[in-house]
Amino acid sequence: MTAGVTIRTVHDVASLAAVADYFSDVWRTSRSAPPYPAEVLHSLVHAGGAVHAAHDGRRLVGASVAVLGPERSTYSLVAAAERGLGHAVKLAQRDWALALGARSMRWTFDPLVGRNARFNLVKLGAVGTEYLVDFYGPMTDGVNDGDESDRLTVTWRLGAPPAPSGPEGHGPVARLAPDGGPLVRRDLADRYLWCRVPDDIVELRAADPEQALRWRHAVREVFLTACADGFRATGMSRDGWYTLTRAEKAA
């Protein structure tokens, strides 16, 4: 999937402006009001961060932004790519971070977007470590408008084997979802619980924003309670079920 694609850090004004335009297209905003303006990207690079750009020939097909954090950590502000290229973009970020001696990378994502959860938790082997309520406040881009901006923080241990995801389980139903189906299942030993998310929250948000908000609040309550009880998000099934594992059982 990455044949012919090159990924490199970019520093010049023109390349950073192209990345800003790319992010505008991904988040469906006007290019005159990008979510990450070129001048901000330039400042982040000047401060020691990295902007990666993926090109297929001359066409920009992915980009990411990361900054340094404390104690040999890094933080990925944003990453986006055409289908099949996301893994390569994240590996480029990882290589940059490892070269600086970093041991971990963190970022946030919308916990209702199941495909992103599966990529982060299963493909990369990161772990969901913190649930953030309405993290950004109101957002007006073409993807998130009309919803509350809850986010799940994930931590990726660089250079370490992926964390075990835990079983994809179907224990007793503990709570129902806004659509009437099961929302939460819990195993009898109380080591794992499973939480379902909608098939496509972006499509649901556009078609029925009130129902999408009900899902937001339902999943929020599950995660906040689970995190307080020592669970971390360790997996995501193909049919939209998170696996949450008690922290003492997760590697």
What confidence score (pLDDT) does residue 125 get? Answer: 95
Task: Tell me the two tokens of residue 218.
Answer: 């339902």
The rounded distance, in Å, linking the Cα atoms of 83 and 74 is 24
pTM to 2 decimal places = 0.91
pLDDT in tens, the chain (251 residues): 577 899 999 999 999 999 999 999 999 999 999 999 999 999 999 999 999 999 999 999 999 999 998 888 999 999 999 999 999 999 999 999 999 999 999 999 999 999 999 999 999 999 999 999 999 998 878 788 778 999 999 999 998 888 778 888 778 999 999 999 999 999 989 999 999 999 999 999 999 999 999 999 999 999 999 999 999 999 999 999 999 999 874 44
Instruction: Check if the beta carbon of residue 22 is closer than 8 Å to that of residue 80.
Output: yes
- DSSP conformational letter for 248: G
List all residues 6 or more positions away from 23 whose beta carbon is below 8 Å from its beta carbon: 34, 35, 36, 63, 78, 80
The rounded distance, in Å, linking the Cα atoms of 99 and 97 is 5
Q: How many CB atoms lie within 10 A of CB 92?
A: 22
Reduced to 3 states (helix: H, G, I; strand: E, B; else coil), residue 125 is coil
Instruction: Check if the beta carbon of residue 154 is closer than 8 Å to that of residue 106.
Output: yes
What confidence score (pLDDT) does residue 249 get? Answer: 45
Assign a CATH topology to domain 1-102: Aminopeptidase (3.40.630)
What confidence score (pLDDT) does residue 251 get? Answer: 43
CATH 3.40.630.30 spans which residues of the chain? 1-102
Following DSSP, what letter does each residue of 88-150 receive, concatenated?
HHHHHHHHHHHHTT--EEEEEE-TT-HHHHHIIIIIS--EEEEEETTTT-S--STTTTTS---
The rounded distance, in Å, linking the Cα atoms of 141 and 130 is 24
Region for 86 from its dihedrals, namely left if φ exceeds 0, alpha if ψ lies in -120 to 50, beta otherwise = alpha
Instruction: Check if the beta carbon of residue 163 is closer than 8 Å to that of residue 127.
Output: yes
